[in-house]
Amino acid sequence: MKKLIATAAMLAMSASAMALEVSGVKLDDKVNVGGADLVLNGAGVRSKFGLAKVYVAGLYVPAKAGSADSIISAKQPRRVMLVMKRDVDADKMLDAFHDGIANNATGPEMEALKPKIAHLDSVFKAVKETRENDRIALDFGVDGGMKITINGQTKDTIAGPDIAPAMLKIWLGKKPVQDDLKKAMLGN
């Protein structure tokens, strides 16, 4: 009986070690994107004004990596998982995405991205608002396109080789939305 209890306790501890908890949000250590197994590279909290927690962001890649540039330019599946820590309306979420893209793109890049940004806008405006604990998966394919899934429901896919790098730069670019979040997503 003691062996059974000890074994059960060890299994429970190893199961809990398989998920990372950040600010009360549990993130799986592995996910499958487009048939590819990805591992959690790192995760952190996006906060506004250093106080209000907006979301927990987790970065999934095929193999752990510490180089933002290699993750951004990779021709392999990746995922950014956002778990909302508070309610945010679509316009505020889109403003943050727009700012993050604009902070890391040149004028010609922004011009080329306009149709994709408009597509992104239409997806989130249809959702209207994200609520606390909503899970937004941004899946980036080998072709550079992006699939948007909210709470397990696929909302849309945005095709094209430039949307994935533009979105990843929001968190991993030269001017990330938050420096400590970038470090956390890179596993530091």
pLDDT (tens place) for every residue of the chain, 188 residues total: 444 334 444 444 434 345 789 999 999 999 999 899 999 999 999 998 777 899 999 999 999 999 999 999 999 999 999 999 999 999 999 999 999 999 999 999 999 999 999 999 999 999 999 999 999 999 999 999 999 999 999 999 999 999 999 999 999 999 999 999 999 999 98
Smallest CA-to-CA distance from 97 within 146, 51, 62 is with: 146
Tokens of 30: 């592995």
Q: Enter the DSSP assignment of 160.
A: S
3-state secondary structure of 12: helix
Tokens of 28: 């799986």
Q: Are 59 and 78 within 8 A, CB to CB?
A: yes
Query: Distance from CA of residue 184 to its chain's centroid?
Result: 12
